[in-house]
Amino acid sequence: MVFGIAVTLLASSLWGEVERRPPTFRATAELVRLVVLAMDRGRPLRGLTADDFEVRDNGMVQKFQVTAADQLPLELLLVFDTSASVRGAKLDALRVCGRAVAQALRDGDQMALVTFSDLVGLRCPMTGKSAQLLSALDGLQAGGSTALFDAVFAGLALSSGRPARPVLLLFSDGRDNVSWLSASDVIAAARLSETPIYAVSTSSIREATHSILGPPTWASVGAATDDEFLRRITQETGGRVFQADSAAGLQKHLTAVMDEIGTRYLIGYSPEGVAKDGWHRVDVHLRHRRGAVVARPGYSSPTPPGGGH
pLDDT of 250 > 90? The answer is no
pLDDT of 215 > 80? The answer is no
Distances (CA, A) of 56 to 25, 220, 233, 280: 21, 38, 22, 10
Q: How many CB atoms lie within 10 A of CB 74?
A: 22
Q: 63 — phi, psi (to 5°)? A: -90, 135
- pLDDT > 70 fraction of the chain, expressed in percent and rounded: 78
Q: Could you tell me the residue ranges of all domains in the chain?
A: 2-14+72-261, 27-69+265-301
CB 23 within 8 A of CB 302: yes
* Per-residue pLDDT band at 114 (split at 50, 70, 90): very high
> 288-298 pLDDT, tens per residue?
899 999 999 99
How far is the C-alpha of 100 from the C-alpha of 109, rounded, in Å?
Answer: 14
Q: 205 — phi, psi (to 5°)? A: -100, 125
CATH class of 2-14+72-261: alpha beta
The arithmetic mean of pLDDT across residues 304-308, rounded, is 52
How far is the C-alpha of 306 from the C-alpha of 300, rounded, in Å?
Answer: 17
Nearest alpha carbon to residue 261 among 197, 189, 200:
197
How far is the C-alpha of 71 from the C-alpha of 195, rounded, in Å?
Answer: 17
What pTM value is reported for the model? 0.80
* Per-residue pLDDT band at 174 (split at 50, 70, 90): low
pLDDT (0 to 100) of residue 76? 92
